[in-house]
A and B are shown apart, each in its own frame.
Chain A
Amino acid sequence: MLILECPYCGVKAEETELAAGGEAHLKRFGPGSSDDEFHDYLFMRENPKGVHFERWRHANGCGKWFHAARCTTTLEVFGTYSAQTLEPPKELLDKISEKRPGWTWRDLG
């Protein structure tokens, strides 16, 4: 029963209000992409023990999608931020580096 703060409406929402949306910052591949690119886009996902970036929707609330950065082992939430961005904000990355020195996630960290 995680608590995540919705960056749009400011509500500290409980998991029952939220819908999980899988891994964050996927780059969409459409027509014209190679088989490998498209395959990876559809199916290949991070499964980290530690820092992870996810998509969530405040489904039973304001309805907005947002991003969350959290630790999959301790459940610590580093922060939530807009869904309308291609990468996590710098302050958040700095905060994670402070708390989890040496972390990596895809090409971040």
Chain B
Amino acid sequence: MSTRLASQGRLIDRSKTIEFTFNGKRMTGHAGDTLASALLANDQMMMGRSFKYHRPRGVVASGSEEPNALMGLGTGDRFEPNQRATTTELFSGLSAQSQNHWPNLEFDVLAINNKLGRFLTAGFYYKMFIHPKPFWKHIYEPIIRRSAGLGKAPDKELKDADTYEHFYFFCDVLVAGGGVAGLQAAKAAAASGAKVLLMEQNAHWGGRAPVDGGTIDGLSPDAWIEKTLAELAEMDNVTMRSRSMVSGVYDHGYALGYERLNDHEPGNGAPRHRLWRIRASQIVTATGAIERPLSFSGNDVPGVMLAAAMRDYVVNWGVTPGQKVIVVTNNDDAYRTALVLHEAGVEVVRVLDARSAGGGALMEEVRQKGIRVECGRAIAKVKSGKRVTKVSICAQSGVGGAQEEVSCDAVAMSGGWSPVVHLWSHCGGKLIWDEAAAHFRPDADRPPLGDNGQGFVVPAGSANGPMGLGDVLADASAAGAAAAEAAGFSAVKTAAPEVSVQDELPLEPVWLMPAQAEVSLRMKSWLDYQNDVKVTDVQLAAREGYESVEHTKRYTTLGMATDQGKLSNINGLAMLADSLGASIPEVGTTTFRPPYHPISMGAIAGEARGKIFQPIRKTPMHDWHEANGAEFEPVGHWRRPYAFVRSGESTHDAVMREVSNTRERLGLLDASTLGKLIVKGPDAGKFLDMMYTNMMSTLKIGKCRYGLMCSENGFLIDDGVVARIDDDTWLCHTTTGGAERIHGHMEEWLQTEWWDWNVYVANVTEQYAQVAVVGPNARKVLEKLNAQAGGGMDLSAEALPFMEWRDGKIGSFDCRAYRISFSGELSYEIAVPASQGRAFWDALIEAGQEFGVMPYGTECLHIMRAEKGFIMIGDETDGTVIPQDLNMQWAISKKKEDFLGKRAHTRSHMADPERWKLVGLETVDGSVLPDGAYALGEGVNANGQKNMIGRVTSTYHSPTLGRGIAMGLVKHGPDRMGDVIEFPGTDGKVYKAKIVDPVFYDKEGAKQNV
């Protein structure tokens, strides 16, 4: 059984007992425990079931590389799946649920998959679920979705109750990892005066040195760590953060840090996670190394654990996973586990060393303790079950015959160590295969490069290959100094600490145990625990022709789980190399991608949630709208009133009322959001002639012209009314969403093509509030303001005709009034300084009472413009539409030699008479056509789909005409007036519509021109 020991436990405080629940069962642990150590202390060895076969699984590791012990943590709006028990610090009231089982952890129905294992091999889904085709959607997919997937997603109706934040940080040297190497590297870098940030993913500093023993500068590792931390804390140029993982390294020295502020102490008032967005001149990766499992049959039975992890549980948390332990290894380091267990009073049944000659001094020390060591021996298999009970031992060199059965309740395995090269590799650092150590390590000659072409990542300590304590610290010292130098500081010579530690003999690579294991053993030898990938899966992939490691990864899913193969990658690709008869470096590794370890979605989103998801732009009249029933719609970052809804009225009712009232009496539209660009300079006219399809240089001062803008491809990108202000000044209106884009478009051409033209463009959109005063009573209300406050602007048809503008005073307001109309009614669009917007609006509302004034929103605007057949950028256009498609040849100057889009309009496809063209559409029965519906033509295309001959671009119920009206693009449309075409809706109905002229209302334009 696994249990708490009477001694050991350097990280726990035995005086503090903490209560928590696992699958609803109450348990206790101590302050300083992880969830994994506390579960082990409660004899809870089985912590979940596997992804595919639902095999019982226990904890394998002690840190972030853990593949098995994934939990659903918390409840309700704080529930989060797939949290590692090994990195979850215990707190009072913690509630954890194990995953991948039904109905419960002990008894699981889908464990039957384990028996069906031979049918669930690599590529099973691809092979099995292809035929018959309809089965996929209705049978296979629903079943797979129910049974697959790691953990369960949080309730979609609930919002994460926690808060998150982003934090920006700049430093000369970022040190990733606060083990002894990281501490030493930080010390060496900081000595130069460089600004250093040191991040450690765990709650405690010093990594695993205190567990592994030895002395540093005559001190125990714990004492040296404490002393070094105190030294670093004294330095003003050093910032240290524990519980903070450097999760990714990106281009040119950008890195992300993931700080967990209250996972260990929920409700402490801090944000849950903080994402550090770091710019570092140099990055030192002191990320340590990860122990590799050995591939033997049953290496996933609960109780089989990495040797160093077992040592961690004993030394750090005073927990032993078993009472009778077998240690199996191909290196000297695992003997430390035997010594630690023996010291703690746990029986070490045997140490199996796969090396025929065995190990060095550590082995001798183990033998001296009276522990039986057998060299050249291996585990043939661990008896299946929910717990280790028996192990069969055989020779490493054979196929697994002549087995001896030995009883035990835990197995500590070690297949050697792999440097954690993830951060080095994220941004292109290359690796070399170290034959002697049997691992990939950073190739110092091929680092990731910064903008200056120099490397910006320096690996340190065991992340760089060295594994012995002395080599690690010497390497880290040099790395810290080198990083400081590269960041532009003169490194101060920092002597590497003196260490004493036992020498180790080299390991012997063991990729399969026993080396020639027969198939019955191999098919229970796990490579990737989290995705349930076995030795036989990789061998099958190789037999089926998968040679590239990247393809094999995807076919078998090796290394594709949330642990990204931290334990499995090297073993997997060694197995692939073996199957292909290639060397390991020839096969290579898969790509390491950030994050190193999963980070929360909340941390990525940071503060950008709900109301502050993005900045909102509000017009000066926004508050009035809000107080008067406005329902808003987003237009770019603006919020515009969609309609002003009165009590007892539906939104549709409100829109209909607004249209009728504006057409019959008086409507006000807040048009402040309309883009306003001032284009000024001696060459402004020439420039605008290039920007617009129309001729703008000839526009007379005081007049307005509606203009179209095309891209160089010829497609419509914007439209709006242009006013000539004076000799060298034009004011260009853009669409609401287009102001910034069109401003940028103009700047691009001015700066990069016609930089010798004297033109300036200024975006003055927010400098003005603009109100459209619309309807038969529009002039009356403005003249009333003039009469009340003695404004001077003559608003008569003679003094201010249609498509002209004037500056002056209306009432007490300084105004620029444009006689333009997007509704077909008598209309003045009046711009006032933004600061006067609300007062002007209020004055109009008050003065307009006797004329039946009502505000109207964007939907009313849309209906009125559609009744008039005016196009809307984004409705009638979608980036593939040219002015000719909209029958707007009248707006394209034939006199100009050149404008953006002119050459494109002559391309064969643009001039094709088969292009769909704008028409009006009237449903035969008066109903409203579905938006975006397509019209069916004759015959089918090459894919057997029905041919389409057009689509609906705008569709509304027109209260003015009492029927549905629409615009659409239809093949040969203008030549087919009166024809009825069919639009199938997604509702199963077929809508019949007659092709008509797109101008439904006041075709002569009499109403706007009075």
Contact = CB atoms under 8 A, between A and B. Distances in A.
Contacts of A90: none
Contact of B751 (A4, A29, A83): A83
Contacts of B752: 21, 55, 65, 83-84
B449 A31 contact: no
B252 A30 contact: no
A35 interface: yes
A3 B250 CA distance: 11
A29 B903 contact: yes
Nearest to A74: B449
Interface string B687-713: 000000000000000000000000011
Nearest to B750: A65
Interface string B855-886: 00000000000000000000000000000000
Nearest to B743: A63
Contacts, number: 77
A42 interface: yes
Contacts of A71: 453
Contact of B755 (A1, A63, A83): A83
A31 to B, nearest CB: 5
Contacts of A99: 453
B453 A63 contact: no
A3 B751 contact: no
B819 interface: no
B842 interface: no
B902 interface: yes
Interface in A26-75: 28-33, 35, 38, 42, 55, 57, 59, 63-65, 71, 74-75
Contact of A1 (B254, B903, B906): B254
B903 A38 contact: yes
A15 interface: yes
Interface in B200-239: none
**Size range of the chain B interface in the assembly:** 20 to 34
Contacts of B897: 31
Contact of A14 (B279, B427, B755): B279
A1 B902 contact: no
A84 B744 CA distance: 16
B748 A3 contact: no
A57 B906 CA distance: 31
A29 B250 CA distance: 38
B753 A28 contact: yes
B251 A77 contact: no
B904 interface: yes
A38 B904 contact: yes
A2 B898 contact: no
Given A2-B251, A77-B451, A77-B452, A84 B755 contact: yes
A82 to B, nearest CB: 9
A75 B251 contact: yes
A5 B748 CA distance: 19
A74 B453 contact: yes
A94 interface: no
Nearest to A78: B453
A35 B907 contact: yes
A76 B452 contact: yes
B997 interface: no
A75 B903 contact: no
16 contacts: A1-B251, A3-B253, A4-B451, A14-B279, A42-B904, A57-B744, A65-B747, A74-B428, A76-B449, A76-B453, A77-B451, A77-B452, A83-B751, A84-B751, A84-B752, A84-B755
Give me the 6 closest cross-chain CB pairs, A-B, nearest first. Answer: A1-B254, A76-B453, A84-B755, A77-B451, A65-B751, A3-B252
Interface of B: 250-254, 279, 427-428, 449-453, 712-713, 744, 747-748, 751-753, 755, 897-898, 902-904, 906-908
Given A2-B451, A38-B907, 4 more contacts: A30-B902, A42-B904, A75-B451, A77-B451
